[in-house]
Structure 1
Amino acid sequence: MALTLQILLPFFGGFAALLAPRLAGLSERWTTIAVMALTLIVLLLAVVSGDDGRWLAFTRADWAPSFGIQVLLAMDGLSAALLAVSAGLGMICVFISWHVTHRSPLFHAAICWTVAASNGVFLSFDLLILAFFWELMIVPAFLLIALWGHGDREAAAIKFLVFNAVAGLGLLAAVFWMGATSDPITFDAFELARDERSHTAQVLLLLGFAVAFMVKLPVPPFHAWLPDAHTNAPTAGSILLAGLLLKTGAYGLFRFPPLLFPEGLVTLAPWGMALGAFGVVYGAVLACGQTDAKRLVAYTSVAHMSIVLMGVCGGVHFALMGAGVEMIAHAFSSSALFLLIGALQHRTGTRDLRELGGLQKTAPAFATSFALFFAAALAMPGTANFLGEALVITGMFQVNWVLAAIALVSLVVSVVYATRLIGGIVFGEPKPAVQGAHDLYRHELWPIAVLGLCTLLFGLFPQALISVLRPAVEAALTPLLFVQP
């Protein structure tokens, strides 16, 4: 029941946020916060009372048995960590959007529905239900960009919709084919993993899954929607994109190819690693040329998520563990950076690095927060990002030292874009745009403190996160051990 509530609470909470102000005179903001807090409490209770085996919690119930459809939800340490991030970011999005008054009930409902659909992806092991949630989460994210974004928001929202909806068709086609050719018809991922398929079928089906996941991740050449979506989205939209939607792509790559298509994954892994290595350098180089702070951070996400692709395709313990860690770490650091840039834009009316500067003299808490989270984005030692990238690159040296060396080059390039961002915002004499800019407010400071604490906690005490992720990593490795390279 606890797993079902992870989906139902935010889903119906969205309707509560939408209708409560009119029907009961309740605040949509506090309604959303209460829903997210309750979702997080239910999750914590499920984790504390969870089993010691493979799964912390497991739910199976028939839905449409004549069509092979069932409610099949499972949670391990990786799922639990992502669910906690989901509820936490949902709550943060409300606090940092307190100024939003335009269609506020619908805005908060969209936050709830994005969390609900993302949670469905993190928990579902019935592939048809997974595909349903995969497509569903596009809708509230589209609304957030199109209705509350900036600049050319409609074009950015449509580009986001087209890229993700079209890519999802490959996933849906693969799921239908697998379910229809099983005997009896089923969409149970665990049952389908036992079916024998030819090598060619595994490769083709994996491509259907992988394209959908890599568009959401995203990695080049599937990334074209991301910079525009981030640039034109509201702050809450950027946080949910970076902290949740990108992680559904990373989670999908981590979870399903090793389980369903181990032979296909071994065949395509060298291409995936090469694509990831290219994406790491490509994202870092393009970030260096940006003057829009939000667009700069968007391109760094391309680089960091390419690290995750390399880790998953590496297929060894260090690389897979690093990919899992990087998912969580990037959710903290990227969400915090988008929060800070959004707050700065709200005060100054600009994100142009050429018009900003001297923030350490006018808003020291702002400047300190920027420095902390760009240290995390640089994967400095002591941060969770360092742990994730170090594990992936260590694993890659076990598999392909050339690609590992290319990934290391991106760390050098990242110094350039970090210097541009920090130098353009924090140092120097205060520019006119930041004159009189208020430092972080209390409702902005506590989310930054929480995200910063998590970044440093898992960086300084890595075993706390590694022990949580280990069952998921071992489960992903096991099918690959029986495949002949």
Structure 2
Amino acid sequence: MLSALILLPLLGAIIIGFWPAILDGKFARGMAFVCAGLTFLWSVFLAIQFNPGEINQQFSEFIPWVDAIGLSYNLGVDGLSLPLLVLNGLLTCIAISSSDSSQQRPRLYYSLILLLSTGVTGAFLAQDLLLFFLFYELELIPLYLLIAIWGGARRGYAATKFLIYTAISGILILASFLGMVWLSGGSNFALANLNAASLPLATQILLLVGILVGFGIKIPLVPFHTWLPDAHVEASTPISVLLAGVLLKLGTYGLLRFGMNLLPDAWNYIAPWLATWAVVSVLYGASCAIAQTDMKKMVAYSSIGHMGYILLAAAASTPLSVLGAVMQMISHGLISALLFLLVGVVYKKAGSRDLEVIRGLLNPERGMPVIGSLMVLGVMASAGIPGMVGFISEFVIFRGSFAIFPVQTLLSMLGTGLTAVYFLILMNRAFFGRLSAQVVSLPRVYWSDRLPSVVLAILIVIFGIQPAWLSHWTEPTITAMMNVDKVMATVSVEKLK
């Protein structure tokens, strides 16, 4: 059942790439959307069949692969990975449907998107460290090409920078994985057989540093963030949707699955430093966003700040904070995808993203009133307004982290206020006031441009009103991971500090 999630987009990429006849953009997009849609529906079917009360991996698959190096094809899904699988399927469909029907080289373009989905899905399902690494590296190639070929004027620079940073990330992660297995005396890379927690504290800290920096580049956290704004600005809108909505979550997922979960002693030892690191990322990302005049770059920097909340939650390591971290992954995926879609529509119709150029887009007669209204909803969700999914995820993180790191939590909460500031600047400059002369004649915005954003907006409101639909799948798994009774009995706030 899990292999189907990997094979469906992979087969779709092969079919589109090697289709014997000439493919025009519309037909290739239709084929890709069918493959992505089937994958998304299959992930929803798995979610329906999933038993939230079962804390172990479900629908497990195991096939010995390369015994000589201890590599096996070992898949499983639990409450931590299931929501991310569904999110990946949804945003892949959104990205394909929002792609231009006149896309150049459509055969290669849609094949790469489906191959990207394959790599991300495999990474979330992998229950073998080496298998995870292989899927983690697989997504690097298609994303590099999608930016380098279909990106903006500086696409070569942005794609190369992304490639270098991600390659360093992979090297550090692989080195840490090898160290955990070899130093703990393991004979294979299966997660279930790994006993890295038995290693000396100094060794655990050394391995954890590699994991933190490796996944910190992917998230990204300050100061490893500089590749992200360039990649977002030069990438096309659908690729930005996937990059912010799904690919960054590989980093946060890796921290929870392989850092906090496998090296708990080292994690607790350096937790205060991690919480401080989170504060720096939150405030730095928000401060940089305020200074931007490019709408897309502003949204990109906002992602850096919002990813810092997840690090704060992981540092606190309480069941409530980690549950909030998972909810924040889904929340940020939906909200950032919506914002990038809307910025893409503005750029497509107005020809600019510069806040010094465009004004008055909420004009009901000659502007983009529907797009502007959706943007209002999106920025309210990102700023944590009650009734939106962004509020509940951030609230759970702050509530779960405050008892452990009160000062860092209060400082991180300032990031929510700064989010309101820079998005208020965006709305005031771009959407309110008189329509600027530079964009006075705007092309018509069709429902095909609006529909993907409407779908995301509906989900943001639904999960904001009924957050239990998110936490229901994840809470038992997180509770088991944190081993609540043991933590409450043996770990005090003083020891964590």
Question: Which residue number in structure 2 is paired with residue 33 of structure 1?
Answer: 33
Indicate yes or no: 2:121 matched with 1:122: no
Q: 1:376 offset after TM fit, Å?
A: 0.8
Q: 1:96 offset after TM fit, Å?
A: 1.1
Question: Which residue number in structure 1 is paired with residue 15 of structure 2?
Answer: 16
The amino acid that maps onto 1:149 is G
Q: 1:368 offset after TM fit, Å?
A: 0.4
The amino acid that maps onto 1:166 is I
Question: Which residue number in structure 2 is paired with residue 407 of structure 1?
Answer: 412
Q: 1:185 offset after TM fit, Å?
A: 1.6
The amino acid that maps onto 1:15 is I
Question: Following the alignment from structure 1 to structure 2, what is the Cα–Cα distance between the partners of residues 195 and 462?
Answer: 34
1:67–1:186 Cα contact (<8 Å) kept: yes
The amino acid that maps onto 1:111 is I
The amino acid that maps onto 1:386 is F
Indicate yes or no: 2:54 matched with 1:53: yes
Question: Which residue number in structure 1 is paired with residue 430 of structure 2?
Answer: 425
Question: Following the alignment from structure 2 to structure 1, what is the Cα–Cα distance between the partners of residues 316 and 353?
Answer: 37
Question: Following the alignment from structure 1 to structure 2, what is the Cα–Cα distance between the partners of residues 168 and 100?
Answer: 35
The amino acid that maps onto 1:431 is S
Question: Which residue number in structure 2 is paired with residue 396 of structure 1?
Answer: 401
Question: Following the alignment from structure 1 to structure 2, what is the Cα–Cα distance between the partners of residues 20 and 53?
Answer: 43
Shift in alpha-carbon separation, 1:60–1:418, aligned structure 2, 3 A? same
Question: Following the alignment from structure 1 to structure 2, what is the Cα–Cα distance between the partners of residues 432 and 357?
Answer: 9
1:263–1:483 Cα contact (<8 Å) kept: no
The amino acid that maps onto 1:27 is F
Q: 1:67 offset after TM fit, Å?
A: 2.3
2:184–2:195 Cα contact (<8 Å) kept: no
Pick aligned residue for 1:225 from 217, 224, 227: 227
Question: Following the alignment from structure 2 to structure 1, what is the Cα–Cα distance between the partners of residues 278 and 197?
Answer: 30
Question: Following the alignment from structure 1 to structure 2, what is the Cα–Cα distance between the partners of residues 483 and 116?
Answer: 41
Secondary structure of the equivalent of 1:22? Answer: coil
- Over residues 369-389 of structure 1, what are the superposed CA-to-partner deviations in whole Å (9 max), with x where a residue is unaligned? 110101111111111111111
Secondary structure of the equivalent of 1:77? Answer: coil
2:197–2:264 Cα contact (<8 Å) kept: no
Shift in alpha-carbon separation, 1:148–1:186, aligned structure 2, 3 A? same
Q: 1:100 offset after TM fit, Å?
A: 4.3
Q: 1:483 offset after TM fit, Å?
A: 6.6
Secondary structure of the equivalent of 1:73? Answer: strand
Structural mapping, 1:33-182, within 5 Å: 33-51=33-51, 52-54=53-55, 55-182=57-184
Q: 1:471 offset after TM fit, Å?
A: 2.4
Secondary structure of the equivalent of 2:434? Answer: coil
Question: Following the alignment from structure 2 to structure 1, what is the Cα–Cα distance between the partners of residues 195 and 392?
Answer: 31
The amino acid that maps onto 2:54 is G
Shift in alpha-carbon separation, 1:21–1:83, aligned structure 2, 3 A? farther
Question: Which residue number in structure 1 is paired with residue 188 of structure 2?
Answer: 186
The alignment's TM-score, normalised by the length of structure 2, stands at 0.93
Secondary structure of the equivalent of 1:260? Answer: coil
Shift in alpha-carbon separation, 1:269–1:374, aligned structure 2, 3 A? same
The alignment's TM-score, normalised by the length of structure 1, stands at 0.96
With 313-322 and 53-62 compared, the bigger mean Cα shift is at 53-62
1:32–1:108 Cα contact (<8 Å) kept: yes
The amino acid that maps onto 2:147 is I
Indicate yes or no: 2:450 matched with 1:462: no
Question: Following the alignment from structure 1 to structure 2, what is the Cα–Cα distance between the partners of residues 209 and 194?
Answer: 13
Secondary structure of the equivalent of 1:360? Answer: coil
Question: Which residue number in structure 1 is paired with residue 270 of structure 2?
Answer: 268
Question: Following the alignment from structure 1 to structure 2, what is the Cα–Cα distance between the partners of residues 22 and 313?
Answer: 53
Question: Which residue number in structure 2 is paired with residue 199 of structure 1?
Answer: 201
Compute the RMSD of aligned alpha carbons: 1.8
With 316-325 and 75-84 compared, the bigger mean Cα shift is at 75-84
For structure 1, the residue ranges without an aligned partner over 5 or more in a row are none
Shift in alpha-carbon separation, 1:47–1:410, aligned structure 2, 3 A? closer
Question: Which residue number in structure 2 is paired with residue 323 of structure 1?
Answer: 325
For structure 2, the residue ranges without an aligned partner over 5 or more in a row are none
Shift in alpha-carbon separation, 1:65–1:337, aligned structure 2, 3 A? same
Q: 1:269 offset after TM fit, Å?
A: 1.3
- Over residues 214-244 of structure 1, what are the superposed CA-to-partner deviations in whole Å (9 max), with x where a residue is unaligned? 1111110110100101011111111111011
Question: Which residue number in structure 2 is paired with residue 341 of structure 1?
Answer: 343
1:21–1:105 Cα contact (<8 Å) kept: no
Q: 1:21 offset after TM fit, Å?
A: 6.3
The amino acid that maps onto 2:325 is A
2:91–2:245 Cα contact (<8 Å) kept: yes
The amino acid that maps onto 1:305 is M
1:95–1:444 Cα contact (<8 Å) kept: no
1:215–1:223 Cα contact (<8 Å) kept: yes
1:76–1:471 Cα contact (<8 Å) kept: no
The amino acid that maps onto 2:416 is L
Question: Following the alignment from structure 2 to structure 1, what is the Cα–Cα distance between the partners of residues 36 and 224?
Answer: 32
Structural mapping, 1:299-378, within 5 Å: 299-361=301-363, 362-378=367-383
**Number of residue pairs matched?**
484
Shift in alpha-carbon separation, 1:434–1:444, aligned structure 2, 3 A? same
The amino acid that maps onto 1:53 is E
The amino acid that maps onto 1:153 is R
The amino acid that maps onto 2:11 is F
Question: Following the alignment from structure 1 to structure 2, what is the Cα–Cα distance between the partners of residues 59 and 148?
Answer: 37
Secondary structure of the equivalent of 1:57? Answer: strand
The amino acid that maps onto 2:159 is A
- Over residues 248-288 of structure 1, what are the superposed CA-to-partner deviations in whole Å (9 max), with x where a residue is unaligned? 11111122223210111111211111000111111111100
Q: 1:48 offset after TM fit, Å?
A: 2.4
Indicate yes or no: 2:199 matched with 1:236: no
Secondary structure of the equivalent of 1:161? Answer: helix
The amino acid that maps onto 1:36 is A
1:96–1:236 Cα contact (<8 Å) kept: yes
Q: 1:184 offset after TM fit, Å?
A: 5.1
Question: Which residue number in structure 2 is paired with residue 3 of structure 1?
Answer: 2
Question: Following the alignment from structure 1 to structure 2, what is the Cα–Cα distance between the partners of residues 101 and 463?
Answer: 40
Question: Following the alignment from structure 1 to structure 2, what is the Cα–Cα distance between the partners of residues 139 and 435?
Answer: 41
Question: Which residue number in structure 2 is paired with residue 213 of structure 1?
Answer: 215
Question: Following the alignment from structure 2 to structure 1, what is the Cα–Cα distance between the partners of residues 288 and 319?
Answer: 31
Question: Following the alignment from structure 1 to structure 2, what is the Cα–Cα distance between the partners of residues 288 and 262?
Answer: 37
